Structure 1
Amino acid sequence: MDSRTGFGGAEERAMRRALELAATPGVPLGPNPRVGCVLLDADGRTVAEGHHRGAGTPHAEADALARAGGAARGSTAVVTLEPCNHTGRTGPCAQALLEAGVRRVVFAQADPNPVAAGGAATLSAAGVEVVGGLLADEARAVNRVWSFAVEHGRPFVTWKFATTLDGRSAAADGTSRWVSSRAARLDTHRLRALCDTMLVGSNTVAVDDPLLTVRDAEDRPLPHQPLRAVMGLRDLDPGRRVFDDSAETVHLRTRDPRAALAELFARDRQHVFLEGGPTLAAAFWRAGLVDEVVAYVAPFLLGAGRSAVADLGIATIADAFRPRVVDVTVLADDPEANVRFTLAPHDRTTQGED
């Protein structure tokens, strides 16, 4: 046991394994966080492992306890998120750990959800040794979007767009296929699959007739599709492809980005992939509701045509928005050498500062 941290080496190794379990591929996106759990015996050996597999399935702790059976008594539960303290579709994990006779609980991230929080206090009050904060940053990274949505009361918004070197998303005649390369389009589908909502404006549906589904490299739809959300007041032709049976679709009858996000959050949506046109993008940006930018830049020039984003109300260079560059990637196996920029918007008060 490290006296400085309160954690043992076996516990840190178990937590890293629990983080791997939490990030198990194939778990459907949903309102619940991704959680992993490892049970250790008194000698630091693994007794059982478990992870959450989506809404309505056993939580990670319950999964591990079921696999351990009676061997869970006297064990240490290493969990990536503070054990929950409420009854939802499943019972409270804190109570399950108590009933199993777990001696010690080590968790990474404190639960930011006020409905579920309090498990650590319940366990401590019952005499279980509880220590939190082990690899907390790594655990938060696994549930980056979920944590943001719970703390802010709205979905995390990723704005994606494709542009030419001179900032055009379409030519002067309105043609836009294809500004991005095939490699960029495949990468976009990869990112779409990480979100639970695709959002466009009603004008995009009327003019471009997008399908807004997630597809693989052979253009086959994936088994789990995000919600397709269309934002705007205008009535739309029900024959548009976005209204087919490929995925669920909702029409958000508003032009207010905050109202749209509030309605999506009420539907348990946590990650919006914003792929609308320049007007919708500008509305979200000016409202301060863009949390991540993914821009694909193609190496050619148009000189005229539609801009990637509409007026942002900026009159002078000193007021320019200056997002922080998180990543720059030249897409592999791309003969057109599209470049993907991932950016994080700064707080508005920092704009223009050197």
Structure 2
Amino acid sequence: MSASPDDAHFMQEAIRLGLLHLGQTSTNPSVGCIIVREGEIVGRGVTAIGGRPHAEPQALAEAGDLARGATAYVTLEPCSHHGKTPPCAEALIAYGVGRVVISVTDPDARVSGRGIAMLRDAGIEVDAGILEKEGKRSLAAYLMRQTKHRPYVILKLAVSADGMIGRRGEGQIAITGPAARAEVMKLRAQTDAILVGIGTAIADDPLLTVRSLGLEGQSPIRIVLDEKLSLPLSSRLVETARDVPVMVVAAEPPHFDNSDDAEFLARRAALDAAGVEVVQCNPYRPDELLPALASRGISSLLVEGGAKTARLFLDGGYVDRILLYQGPGIIGDGGIETPLDRTDIPSGFIHMGTFIVGDDRLDEYERDV
């Protein structure tokens, strides 16, 4: 639906608000809502950390009596069902708003179209589809889990000037500078889970946490693809599993010889005791893994390493967004070749732009939907 300049302006503000708690609202989407009266914003709300309260009741409470006859701009169709909180559509009706402007209709079967119908039945004017493309982008992870029953997958790669993502046998190598690394920390804070393969987990011994000032409490769930439970108990991931959740994806025991079963079970018991969750499904079948993660409430997944793991998701067509950082340095002999560069982006992706981040270059791509 085409938007008037005022509707576009206020919906853009609601979308901006919704992005503030991205990755911090559990299974609920991070929704933005503003209340506008006579051209002035009188109430603002964003889904609270943890998922409740929702955006609408917070914005309405801030507006108070000024909400009566006002216009509410909300990025996602207001809920219409009784869950752990009353329906947001009921709150909008109770406060007496005169008009509700919606960016995205909720695909959740409990809501889809019902919230709009409830508002219209109460005599409230409703316009939907305002800045829908931008709204869908801000809610991409929630919409992916609702419609395709898997997380939205972001692939992040840092590539040297000679096309390498690391050097064999040397663990972590800094390819990008401080500004790019700070951006990646913010990305982690906005994501439900981060994933690496066992090779990267052993070679780099990463923490995979958020360490930027002010964001330390927003680390995602850390996931390792580890067919035979090879993750060392002395790794930093295992040692910090009780502080920030760690999930290891291992094969089902029948994949091994009987002689290996006892060792596998012993490793699993040791990881369990350390606070690591072991999920048993084929770690090299994203079509099995991703629904399993979605069933645990994971809506967004950041794939960070290594080359084999990146190729696994690329080849299966499960990557939705690509962030390709390029640093100015050269790795040279012994380098690990990148699985992807700007010349071989898969078909179906749109180049969203090139950005300079400190001394590095970032090219961003998103799947065309």
Question: In the alignment, which residue of structure 2 is the partner of 1:250?
Answer: 247
Runs of 4+ with >4 A deviation: 7-13, 43-47, 172-176
Does the 8 Å contact 1:155/1:264 carry over to 2? yes
Question: In the alignment, which residue of structure 1 is the partner of 2:288?
Answer: 259
Extract unaligned runs of 5+ from structure 2.
251-281
- Aligned partner (choices 107, 112, 115) of residue 110 of structure 2: 115
**SS of alignment partner, residue 146 of structure 1:** helix
Extract unaligned runs of 5+ from structure 1.
311-316, 348-354
Task: Report the residue type matching 1:78 in the other structure.
Answer: Y
Aligned pair count reads 329
Provide Cα deviations, 1:226-271, integer angstroms capped at 9, x if missing partner: 0011122212222211121341111122322222211211121111
Task: Report the residue type matching 1:248 in the other structure.
Answer: P
Question: In the alignment, which residue of structure 1 is the partner of 2:167?
Answer: 171
Task: Report the residue type matching 1:273 in the other structure.
Answer: L
Paired with 2:212 and 2:204, the residues of 1 have a C-alpha distance of 21
Question: In the alignment, which residue of structure 2 is the partner of 1:295?
Answer: 324
Task: Report the residue type matching 1:161 in the other structure.
Answer: L
Task: Report the residue type matching 2:320 in the other structure.
Answer: D
| CA RMSD, 1 decimal | 3.1
Question: In the alignment, which residue of structure 2 is the partner of 1:77?
Answer: 72
Paired with 1:67 and 1:190, the residues of 2 have a C-alpha distance of 28
Q: How does 1:18-167 map to 2 (within 5 A)?
A: 18-24=14-20, 28-41=24-37, 43=38, 46-117=41-112, 118-167=114-163
Paired with 1:49 and 1:185, the residues of 2 have a C-alpha distance of 31
Question: In the alignment, which residue of structure 2 is the partner of 1:327?
Answer: 353
Does the 8 Å contact 1:213/1:221 carry over to 2? no
Paired with 2:308 and 2:22, the residues of 1 have a C-alpha distance of 35
Q: How does 1:212-251 map to 2 (within 5 A)?
A: 212-216=208-212, 222-235=216-229, 236-243=231-238, 244=240, 245-251=242-248
Paired with 1:234 and 1:64, the residues of 2 have a C-alpha distance of 50
Q: How does 1:189-200 map to 2 (within 5 A)?
A: 189-200=185-196
Question: In the alignment, which residue of structure 2 is the partner of 1:307?
Answer: 337
Q: How does 1:195-214 map to 2 (within 5 A)?
A: 195-214=191-210
Deviates more, 1:175-184 or 1:106-115: 175-184
Paired with 2:101 and 2:8, the residues of 1 have a C-alpha distance of 9
Provide Cα deviations, 1:47-103, integer angstroms capped at 9, x if missing partner: 533332233422222112223444434433332221111222211111222233333
Question: In the alignment, which residue of structure 1 is the partner of 2:257?
Answer: none
Paired with 1:186 and 1:46, the residues of 2 have a C-alpha distance of 32
**SS of alignment partner, residue 84 of structure 2:** coil
Paired with 2:88 and 2:215, the residues of 1 have a C-alpha distance of 36
Over 3 Å counting, the alpha-carbon distance change for 1:190 and 1:97 in structure 2 is: closer
Question: In the alignment, which residue of structure 2 is the partner of 1:275?
Answer: 304
Task: Report the residue type matching 2:337 in the other structure.
Answer: S
TM-score of the two chains, using structure 2 as the length reference? 0.77
Deviates more, 1:289-298 or 1:299-308: 299-308
Question: In the alignment, which residue of structure 2 is the partner of 1:352?
Answer: none
Identity fraction in percent: 32
Does the 8 Å contact 1:164/1:297 carry over to 2? yes
TM-score of the two chains, using structure 1 as the length reference? 0.80
**SS of alignment partner, residue 207 of structure 2:** coil
Q: CA deviation at 1:197?
A: 0.6
Paired with 2:237 and 2:88, the residues of 1 have a C-alpha distance of 40
Deviates more, 1:185-194 or 1:322-331: 322-331
Paired with 1:171 and 1:27, the residues of 2 have a C-alpha distance of 32
Over 3 Å counting, the alpha-carbon distance change for 1:35 and 1:175 in structure 2 is: closer
Question: In the alignment, which residue of structure 2 is the partner of 1:187?
Answer: 183
Q: CA deviation at 1:225?
A: 1.1
Task: Report the residue type matching 1:326 in the other structure.
Answer: M
**SS of alignment partner, residue 216 of structure 2:** coil
Over 3 Å counting, the alpha-carbon distance change for 1:226 and 1:99 in structure 2 is: same
Does the 8 Å contact 1:19/1:35 carry over to 2? yes
Paired with 2:171 and 2:197, the residues of 1 have a C-alpha distance of 18
**SS of alignment partner, residue 120 of structure 2:** helix
Over 3 Å counting, the alpha-carbon distance change for 1:114 and 1:163 in structure 2 is: same
